[in-house]
Amino acid sequence: MKYALVQVSVPHRNVDRAFHYIIPPELKDKLTTGMRVYVPFGNGNRRTEGYILGFSDKSEVDEAKLKSILDIHEDYRILSDKRIALGAWMSKKYYSTFNECLYCIAPKAANQKMFSCVSLNRDNPQLHELIAATKKRSSKQSQVLDLFINDAEIPLSHIKSILDIDNAPINALVKKGILKMTQYRSYRGNYNKSVPAAKPKPDLTEEQEQVIRLIQKENRPVLLHGVTGSGKTEVYLRLIEDVIKTGKQAIVLVPEISLTPQTVERFVSRFGERVSLTHSKMTDGERYDQWTRAAKGEIDIMIGPRSAVFTPFENIGIIIIDEEHESSYKADHSPRYDAREVAMKLAEMYGAKLVLGSATPSIVSYYKTITGEYALGEMKQRVNKSMPKIEICDLRKELASKNYSIFSRALHSAIQDNLQRGKQTILFLNRRGFSTFVSCRKCGYVMTCDHCSVNYTYHRHTNSLVCHYCGKSIPLPARCPQCGSPYIKYFGTGTEKIEQEVMRLFPTARVLRMDMDTTKGKNSHTNILEAFRNHRADILIGTQMIAKGLDFPNVTLVGVIAADLSLNMNDYHSGEITYNLITQVAGRAGRADDPGRVIIQTYNPDHYSIVCAKNNDYFTYFKEEITFRRIMKYPPFSNVFYILMTSDNEELTVKAANTMAAILNKYNSRGRFERLGPAPAVISKISNKYRYRIIIKCEDEERLKAYVLYCVNIFSAIKELKKVSISIALNPNYSI
């Protein structure tokens, strides 16, 4: 074959295809499909990364115009045929370019890190004489030689640090032919923390055994609905054990915030060095190296968030998605892939098992067990047989009886009680900062961000007003910017205020706070959790960072300060999010021998998501939720496409939105697609950009995509509206 077809990694739709390149003679025998190469591209012949998708004897253009491949990046295939097919599938499914999909599937190219080892040059016949001369003459060199009493191969860096020398004496010995230097590949990002010895494997409970049997015999994906603490992780460990015994590999997806040392240790202590993990704080080099280890078969188990679904195992036996209801499994930028769907596709391609586990399955996934697309496995009992007792506390009644504190009397006395018994408490509020609403008492002026249609949140620690959307922060003004009055008032509660109130009301309690503001440092997240685990604090206050996956045996009380926050967010997911949050937070209580108690404060004590969470009644909640969605035509019964138009000129944005609506109207002659809007987006201005949205609903996903993409294309060709950017999202996690 004379030419290679190279998909060039340039992020533009109009070059999202393979181009012909000449294969230079020196690469003729080395190139295969799926290799990563470098090619000259564009007018400047920029050195550009690309992937070989195939070969051809015929060229699309005149041979004289063709350029040659420059070189290869790795001397092995980076994309198997299956991965190339996956990219094509994703690009269609998620209406993104093939290149964008390949960015997910292949690790970003990074240099390979090498290290040098030094050993005696046994091939040299005069070795012994040379050593004897050298030992007499140079003391530095002879010190080095003393390290090589046996046939050791010693890393160069060790020699230098043991003897506290530079390269000179070693180089001299190499030059004389006494020592030789060998290069090895070193892998960045290996898990290298010490791990406690594996505990003996527990005898499985009956529910665990049943579920494992079910998963082993099922060909369909299995949704594992197991209450918090029912032993789902133990089930995963057993399934993985079986899979790797047969020489296959396992991928375990967990939400980034549950990727705590505690979780990782359970896997590493069972499977040792065959486990690797990825996370978002990894450098490109670390990710590249761990990806390479997976591709070379040096590990069998990868644990990580959403992106770990692309781990290049070519013999996948099982994919496990823990906390499958988590919104983080869906990407919120292009390609807007859903790791659950990608996992399903991979499972199909590789004949692998797919297990989706959760105490609070997403409505969409649970519905699939009703239609038969998934099988359902259930674990209804905690391993310790004790579910926490959940109480609802009606905040309206507290107000009526003149309790103006953040804490209801029930929660106040429960905290007091827990402190006295030396037990730990978790207080949950999904809002950071101190006050969420700052206004002037005289004229009513509300402090809002100049760049966004968002109220400032007051942060007491820094005495500043912070916009949680664009991040802008200003010092708290001493006087009202509108009328000059000094009477500034604070409303609303964030975690910072809870912290202050706890310290005021329970002065002896040791308190930790975990939210975005206290976890900016590299290890702060781990440090806070470890401090709490080691009982260096009595009360942990936090946002949803503390809601999931944590297992603290000494926590017997969980307080939810305001269950209404998520209910009031004006989004069709609000019932689901509320049920999930309450159940997950409640699941942190009473995980060991002492029974747990959960107190939920709310102004909506009769809302089904709160009542069902209290009763641990998933099915009733599911029925309420699915009925609402059927009537309102929301997923899983319909698909919702958001079209968002933004620009820095409000008038122009409105004009664009109206134009878009007219186009959508024109091509909807049969009325198949339901349109809502145009209307201002949920947040109508962010960072000085005005935001308008249109929502289109339709049952048929393929039809809906084709229609919207067609209309967006027409819109994009309108010159006067070039300054308006347009973005689209199908069934996003949150209303836009």
Reading the block at residue 560, the tokens are: 């939810």
Contact yes or no for 56/3 (Cβ under 8 A): yes
208 binds, among Zn ion, ligand ADP, none (CB under 5 to 8 A by kind): ligand ADP
Region class of 299: left (phi > 0), else alpha (psi between -120 and 50), else beta: beta
The residue from 69, 120, 426, 480 that contacts Zn ion (CB under 5 A) is 480
- Smaller CB distance to ligand ADP: residue 57 or 203? 203
Q: How far apart are the first and last CA of the chain?
A: 50
Binding mask 342-381 for Zn ion (x = CB under 5 A): ----------------------------------------
The two structure tokens encoding residue 480 = 């009202």
**445 binds, options Zn ion, ligand ADP, none, Cβ within 5 to 8 A by partner type:** Zn ion
Reduced to 3 states (helix: H, G, I; strand: E, B; else coil), residue 438 is strand
Total residues contacting ligand ADP (rule CB under 6 A)? 15
For residue 470, the partner it binds in Zn ion, ligand ADP, none, with Cβ less than 5 to 8 A by kind, is Zn ion
Nearer to Zn ion by C-beta: 68 or 485? 485
Residue 239's binding partner, choosing from Zn ion, ligand ADP, none, with beta-carbon cut-off 5 to 8 A by kind? none
Tell me how far apart the alpha carbons of residues 415 and 557 are, in angstroms, rounded to a whole number.
8
- Nearest 5°: the CA angle 434, 436, 437 is 125
Tell me: does residue 569 bind Zn ion (CB under 5 A). no
Q: Tokens 């030789």: give the residue.
A: 180
Judged by CB, which is closer to Zn ion: 233, or 646?
A: 646
The answer to whether 228 contacts ligand ADP (rule: CB under 6 A) is: yes
The continuous run of DSSP H or E covering 639 comes out as: strand 639-647
Angle at 732 between CA 604 and CA 106, to 5 degrees: 135
Q: Which of 27, 165, 181, 204 binds ligand ADP (CB under 6 A)?
A: 204
Contact between 345 and ligand ADP by CB under 6 A: the answer reads no
117 binds ligand ADP (CB under 6 A): no
SS3 content of the chain, % helix, strand, coil (to 5): 35, 25, 40
Interface with Zn ion, residue 445, by CB under 5 A:
yes
Provide the residue type at 548 as one letter: K
- And the tokens for 78? 């980076």
* Binding span for Zn ion by CB under 5 A among 54-62, 470-478, 535-543, 610-618: 470-478
Applying CB under 6 A, which of residues 20, 93, 225, 232 lies at the interface with ligand ADP?
Answer: 232
139-146 helix and 168-175 helix, angle to the nearest 10 degrees: 80
Q: Is 35 in the site for Zn ion (CB under 5 A)?
A: no
452 binds Zn ion (CB under 5 A): yes
Would you say 451 or 655 has its CB closer to Zn ion? 451
Which residues, at least 6 apart from 41, have a Cβ–Cβ distance to it below 8 Å?
8, 10, 19, 48, 50
CB 674 within 8 A of CB 438: no
* Residue 274 binding result from ligand ADP, Zn ion, none, given CB thresholds of 5 to 8 Å by partner type: none
The pattern of x and - marking residues 501 through 540 that bind ligand ADP according to CB under 6 A reads ----------------------------------------
Residue 544 DSSP one-character state = G
Please identify, among the stretches 75-83, 200-208, 239-247, 607-615, the one whose residues bind ligand ADP according to the rule CB under 6 A.
200-208
Is position 443 an interface residue for Zn ion (rule: CB under 5 A)?
yes
> Binding to ligand ADP by residue 369, rule CB under 6 A?
no
Residue 383 near ligand ADP by CB under 6 A: yes
Single out the residue of 50, 87, 231, 304 in contact with ligand ADP (rule: CB under 6 A): 231
Question: Is 389 or 442 the residue whose CB approaches Zn ion more closely?
Answer: 442
Of residues 339 and 465, the one with the C-beta less far from Zn ion: 465
Question: Which is closer to ligand ADP, CB of 359 or CB of 696?
Answer: 359
Question: What is the three-class DSSP state of 625?
Answer: helix
Place of tokens 């040392």: 261
| DSSP state letters, 366-387 | HHHHHHTSSEEEEE-S-TTS-P
H helix or E strand, kind and range, residue 179: strand 179-185
Candidate residues 99, 233, 290, 360; the one interacting with ligand ADP per rule CB under 6 A:
233
- Using CB under 5 A, pick the residue from 102, 257, 347, 467 that binds Zn ion: 467
Helix (H) or strand (E) holding 612: helix 608-615
Dist. CA 736–CA 726, nearest whole Å: 13
Positions that interact with Zn ion (CB under 5 A):
440, 442-443, 445, 449, 451-452, 467, 469-470, 472, 480, 482-483, 485
Residues in contact with ligand ADP by CB under 6 A are 202-205, 208, 226, 228-234, 383, 551
